[in-house]
């Protein structure tokens, strides 16, 4: 079948069928990109593009991205920590009151749409709620103030357990 007839059957333009790319093969640039990617495994195409520009290779960012993808380059994934096999034994806790307290925040919203938080302090052994501090904003200093007042009233606990919320990792709490 002739080219003209085949193009008419598949409804394609003859110019686009005959087109041959005039684009350079960019072998030198590809090699340099691979070399940089192997040196700096945590760099993506954007940072590698900056390094190429610093070396005097004037190249469009989109071209860097295209070559990066065509070369099959990608940021190396970090290996995850090895997990312990089996079940972890729970931390030994004496079954006495005031040995371990847990701190956590609870969030809710009023009918007006205003949000509020409640700081809960619970004795893990007796399951008693030692303090529930509601407020629209509870800072690290406020957490320290409430815990100090609770310690004066109930005595110092053996340990305090909490998640790593911003209020509980602040400088005020650490101090």
Q: What is the pLDDT of residues 71-94, one digit of tens each?
A: 999 987 777 777 766 666 666 656
My answer on whether 156 and 115 are in the same domain is yes
| Domain finish residue from 70, 90, 122 | 70
- C-alpha 11/C-alpha 105 separation (Å) is 66
Whether residue 24 lies inside any domain: the answer is yes
Number of domains in the chain: 2
My answer on whether 163 and 118 are in the same domain is yes
- C-alpha 144/C-alpha 161 separation (Å) is 14
Average pLDDT of the chain to the nearest whole number: 88
7-24 mean pLDDT: 91
My answer on whether 66 and 118 are in the same domain is no
The residue that leads in pLDDT, 11 or 79, is 11
- C-alpha 64/C-alpha 87 separation (Å) is 48
What is the domain extent for residue 107?
100-174
- C-alpha 28/C-alpha 140 separation (Å) is 56
């Amino acid at each position: 079948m002739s080219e003209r007839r085949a193009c008419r059957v598949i409804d394609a333009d003859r110019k686009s069928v005959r087109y041959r790319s005039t684009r350079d093969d960019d072998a030198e640039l590809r090699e340099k990109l691979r070399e940089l990617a192997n040196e700096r495994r945590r760099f993506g195409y954007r940072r590698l593009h900056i390094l190429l520009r610093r070396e005097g290779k004037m190249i469009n960012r989109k071209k860097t991205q295209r070559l990066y993808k065509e070369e099959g380059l990608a940021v190396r994934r970090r290996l995850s920590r090895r997990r312990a096999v089996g079940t972890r034994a729970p931390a030994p806790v004496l079954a006495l009151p005031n040995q371990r307290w847990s701190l956590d925040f609870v969030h809710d919203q009023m009918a007006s749409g205003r949000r509020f938080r409640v700081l809960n302090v619970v004795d893990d052994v007796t399951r008693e709620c030692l303090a529930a501090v509601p407020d629209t904003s509870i800072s690290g200093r406020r957490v320290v103030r409430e815990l100090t007042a609770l310690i004066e009233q109930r005595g110092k606990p053996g340990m305090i357990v909490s998640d790593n919320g911003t209020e509980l990792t602040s400088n005020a709490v650490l101090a």
